[in-house]
Amino acid sequence: MALLKPTTLKPTTGIGMTSTRTRERMLTRLREQGIKDEVVLSAMGEIPRHIFIDEALSTRAYEDVSLPIGYSQTISQPYIVARMTEILRNGKQLNKVLEIGTGCGYQTAILSRVAKEVLSLERIRPLVMKARGHLRTLKCNNVKLDHADGSNGLSEFAPFDGIIVTAAASHVPEELLAQLAIGGRLVIPVGTNAQVLMLIERQAKEYVQTKLEAVKFVPLLGGVS
């Protein structure tokens, strides 16, 4: 009997590296990394990350790394997706959420499981098409994707309970602060070389800003392509 070399084995849905067991190992690691929100962990366990990644890289889908998705962009590492979602949720059910930087749609799919309605903007058209396909496969029917520069948010749909930016901004855009509901939260990486994840909460009379941790995101760019 000819033996298959491990390198010739291709991961198929539900088998090997892409199986539920592999995802459970990812959940164990996320807990070790400090993620506590069971709603977020359950969404991370439910959404298969490998379908968002090219087949050649899918054996690495559940490693805690960001991976290329084409067009010089990346899919965020599972830890950062879980962490940003946990901060955004703050232990509460979210109604309307805006995401800026859909990419391949992985974070969007996680958001669709923790919020009633998700609007997401992406400036690169082929990525919008890719993300739409993935979100349709996963029946994320409460998501609306648009091909647009999201730097200024989406004022016609404001206010939002949560705004999550998944590309690094040079500063916190004023327009996004104005689009938060009272009690709403903005989670955004800020900085050019050294970046820090920021949380801005809109309270009745003021905005409260907290620096969370060092992160590494692709830059938030203007215009569409």
Interface residue with ligand SAH among 48, 78, 150, 191 (CB under 6 A) is 150
- Binding flag, residue 124, ligand SAH (CB under 6 A): yes
Distance separating alpha carbons of residues 84 and 204, to the nearest angstrom: 23
- Binding flag, residue 179, ligand SAH (CB under 6 A): no
x/- string (CB under 6 A) for ligand SAH, residues 154-173?
Answer: ------------xx------
Interface residue with ligand SAH among 122, 134, 186, 190 (CB under 6 A) is 122
Residue 144 CA from chain centroid, whole number: 15
Query: Per DSSP, what are the bridge partners of residue 73?
Result: 70
Distance separating alpha carbons of residues 104 and 132, to the nearest angstrom: 8
> Could you tell me whether strands 143-147 and 160-165 are parallel, antiparallel, or unpaired per DSSP bridges?
unpaired
Element (H, E) at 130: helix 125-137
Touching ligand SAH, residues 66-85 (CB under 6 A): 73-76, 81
Can you give the binding site for ligand SAH, defined by CB under 6 A?
73-76, 81, 100-101, 103-104, 106-107, 121-124, 127, 149-151, 166-167, 218, 220-222
